[in-house]
Structure formats: structure tokens, C-alpha cells
Structure 1
Amino acid sequence: MLPALLAAARLGPFCALDDEPGPGWVDLADGDRLLGERAAAVRAVLGPAAAPRVVHSLVHLGVVARVLSPAVGAALAAGVLPVPTSVHLQPVGSNPVPMAWAGVRGVDVAGPEAIAAALAEHWLGPLVQPWTDTVAGTGLSGQVLTGNVVSAVHGTCVVVAAARPDLAPSARALVDALVATGPLRGRGARRPDGSFVRRSCCLIQLLPGAGTCGDCVLVDPVPA
């Protein structure tokens, strides 16, 4: 396994990978199957009161967070962005669902801005966007889905900063760089207190008894 991925695994279970896929695992590229099986598993947990669009948004956010976490963790911890040719996930089970990558190569990245640019080039376009397009086919807005991608990266950066406080400044700067340019430009901002807010809601507050996330646009007005 790429040494950078071993460094990422030490940051927490969301940043860890299995060595190879198991029976019944689904390729991220098979978006329709992954969405169907993962949505059924999530709906079984949330119950029949969960609206389909809420389920689909949460499935999208959960998958994006899972697939990006090892990449973001490795880039921040080791200065190498791992890029696989394929991503396989177990579609059922609680988070973090087991995941394995194949054909992994490393791209050297020096600093948060370089990581942001490399993520956009090697991950957000070729790997995350097709999955997002699949979920968009259910009727979810692009605003919700791009917000989910921003939220997924921000959540990973929070985990990285908690596990390695020395990486906190770089993790924060990475999030800021992602929303300053590229495909996620303008999809998030900093509140006056320095906390991060996405520009859209993941819809979880529509579940009975649910609250809002820490980066939710509904908590405070969006900064200008």
C-alpha cells in the first residue's frame, strides 16, 4: 500500500482502506447500483418517514465523505495525493463502510493550494462528479450536491485536525482554497468566529427529530 495511505489510516477509520474488495462490493463507477443499494440500507435505518430526497442527499454526502477521506488525509499528512483507477465500496452497513482502491498512484502536493488543485483535477472531476451526476438524476439540486462535497472535505479536515493538531492550519487552509477557486468556488465561507459554513443544506433537518449540522447554512446567516 502507498506509504501516504498508511499515514492517512492513522488519522482514523474514515481515512483507512481495505486491501481488496470483498464479495458484493460495488464500484463507484456503477453509480446506479451503488445508489440503489446504499439508499435501501440507509432507508432501513431512518424508517419510512424519511423522504427520498433526504435519503439520496445523505447517501451522496456519506459516499463522498468516505471516498475522499483517505485522499485528503494522505495529502495533508504525507504530501502525496493518492489517485486510484477504481474505488469499490461495500454498499451496506454503518459508516465508515469498508472500501478498497485499485491501481493507486501518488501525486506529490506541496501545500493546501496544491492539494486543492490536485483534488479538483484528479478526484472531483473524474471520480466524484460522475457519482454526483447519478444522484442528481433523482431530482436533487446541484446546490445541495456541491454543498455536500464541500461539507465532506470540511468534515475530513476536522477529523484530520483533531487527530493531528499540527495539521490543523493546513487543513483549514485546504478548505478555504477549495471554496476560493475551481469547481467548489463560492460553495462555503467562514463565519466571523472562524467556523465554516456551507452555502446549502444537506436536508437532514427534514428528518423527524433531527437538528442541523455544524456547518449548516441554516444555523447562521451566510457571510457575504
Structure 2
Amino acid sequence: MPVVDFDPELAALRPLGGFFVLRTLPHPAGADPSRPPRAAGAGPWRLPVLADGYGAGTPDPRRDPLALRVATVAGRLRTAEPRVAASLAHQGLAARLWSAALGCAVLYGRVPDLDPRLLRWDARATAPDDLWLIGPRPLPGDAATLAATVLHGHLEPLAATLRARYGVAAGLLWGNAGSALAATARELGRWARAHGRTDVAARARALTGELFAHPLLETTGSRTGTAFRRRSCCLYYRVPGGGVCGDCCFTRPPRSSPDGTSG
């Protein structure tokens, strides 16, 4: 896979669409990335980092970006069920993380370091989630690095937090992760075909296949080409006016109140 140096603004991601765009914040080499530079001012530097939201403590939307995001999603979707809002907030963030990481892997041949302490998050923003990366620092663009960066670096602590705080089922959360990865791969494939980039399509397909072989993702659903049918439900049908998604395990909204996982 050819390797291209990161440009400071990761501009190659922009043509892929809003879910792929990852805005950046330059930081002096050798400085503590968790602290804004003296001349940074406010703006995105005022935002909390994703790491501030990972943890099983009592959520406080005033100080915790994850709790704020769940509350924001609940308000916008008019749902009184925190578990539903937590699932849908998780789905959106998973999609953003996969899109930025996989998009960089196929276009640059590298993955940016997405350490939760390096990603500032505007949890009040509309979808897609507004993320700002301090850096970027390049890492290898292989599936093992993608798994370490997204699955282990974010989705594992995020899932543990949402299970502890909101009682969201583990199978549902990993189903969200698989669904978000499959959607990311489909969008990359669409873009690649439209622009004659068979190399991008091939890399996206190969990396996605390796990722779905990971123990955390291999049982999340069934894949046929780029199509994906998950074995769980994100609970969107419980939102006022909602329904089942195209990759849902249900063909119609269930009458009962399942935990989001299928038999």
C-alpha cells in the first residue's frame, strides 16, 4: 500500500463527505498535547477531549462530554429513554471514528493517532459529531493499527462506559460498531467507483474484511459483499417517528421492549 505524508489539515478526507472530515489543531512538538498552547485562545481548544467522557462514574452533562452528547441526542430525537439516546449517540461516534481512521488508511496509507486525549469533541454539535484532532501523528495504515486505534482505543472503553451508566447491552453496542464500519466501507466504495479509484476500493475492502475477522466484530452480523445484516438493533424504532434501519435484525419494529439483541 503506498504511503502519502499527512498534510496538516488531512485535506484528502474532505471530498469523502462530512463523516470523514477530521479537523486538526496544530500543537508544538514536544509539548503536552492535553494542554492548549499559550497562544491558542478559545475556539476548539475550549472543548473537552474524548477521554473525559470515558469512565463509569455518575454522568454529569455539565462536565462530561459523553453525558452531554447523550442528553443532546435525547433532546433532538425527543426520546425520554436514556438507553436509546446512549445507543444512538454511540452509533454516531463510532461512525465518525471509523470514517476518519479508515479514510486515512486507504487514502494516505497511514492512520492518525486518535488517542482519546488527542480528540476534542463538541458534544452539542449536530451530526456528524464535531471532532478536532491534536496533531496529526501518523501510525501504520494496517488493520492491526486500525483495531488498536478505534476498537481498543475508543470503542471498548466507550462500550464499558455506556453499559455501566445506561445499561445498554454489549451485543447492541458491538452491533453498532459493526454497522458503522460496514457503512463506512460502503461509502468509501461508492466514492472510489465514482472517481475511478479502484486502488481505494480494493484497500477499503481488504482492510474491512480483516477488521470483521476481529473477535469483537466477527459475530456482529453477516456480510454479503458490501451488504451487512446486523444481529442486533440500535433501538432507533423506539424514537418517536422512528423505525427499523436497513441493516437491522428486525424486519419490522418489535412489539416488546428488547434489549437490542436478537435471539
Assess same fold via TM > 0.5.
Answer: yes
Q: TM-score, normalised on structure 2? A: 0.72
Q: Which among 86, 102, 125 is matched to residue 93 of structure 1?
A: 125
Return the alpha-carbon distance in structure 1 between the equivalents of residues 191 and 204 of structure 2. Answer: 11
Counterpart of 1:16 in 2: which secondary structure?
Answer: coil
Structure 2 gaps, min length 5: 26-42, 54-58, 253-263
| Cα 1:194–1:17 shift into 2, 3 Å | closer
Indicate if the aligned counterparts of 1:153 and 1:175 stay in contact, CA closer than 8 A: yes
Matches within 5 A, 1:42-191: 42-47=73-78, 49-85=79-115, 86-109=118-141, 114-115=142-143, 117-137=144-164, 138-165=166-193, 166=198, 167-191=200-224
| Cα 1:106–1:130 shift into 2, 3 Å | same
Return the alpha-carbon distance in structure 2 between the equivalents of residues 170 and 216 of structure 1. Answer: 26
- State percent identity of aligned pairs: 33
Report the Cα offset of residue 130 of structure 1. Answer: 1.5
Alignment coverage as a number of residue pairs: 213
Question: Bigger relative contact order, structure 1 or 2, given CA contacts below 8 A and separation 6+?
Answer: 1
Residue 2 (1) aligns with residue 10 (2): no
Return the alpha-carbon distance in structure 2 between the equivalents of residues 96 and 211 of structure 1. Answer: 20
Q: TM-score, normalised on structure 1? A: 0.84
| Cα 1:195–1:123 shift into 2, 3 Å | closer
Q: Which among 8, 17, 20 is matched to residue 15 of structure 1?
A: 20
Residue 213 (1) aligns with residue 245 (2): yes
Superimposed CA distance per residue, residues 79-118 of structure 1 (whole angstroms, 9 cap, x where no aligned partner): 2111134111100121123211124322233xxxx32x22
Report runs of 4+ in structure 1 exceeding 6 Å deviation.
Answer: none
Q: Could you tell which deviates more after superposition, 3-12 or 38-47?
A: 3-12
Report the Cα offset of residue 188 of structure 1. Answer: 2.1
| Cα 1:142–1:46 shift into 2, 3 Å | same
Structure 1 gaps, min length 5: none
Indicate if the aligned counterparts of 1:201 and 1:218 stay in contact, CA closer than 8 A: yes
Q: Could you tell which deviates more after superposition, 57-66 or 210-219?
A: 210-219
| Cα 1:194–1:71 shift into 2, 3 Å | closer
Return the alpha-carbon distance in structure 1 between the equivalents of residues 207 and 6 of structure 2. Answer: 22
AA paired with 2:162? V
RMSD value, Cα: 2.4
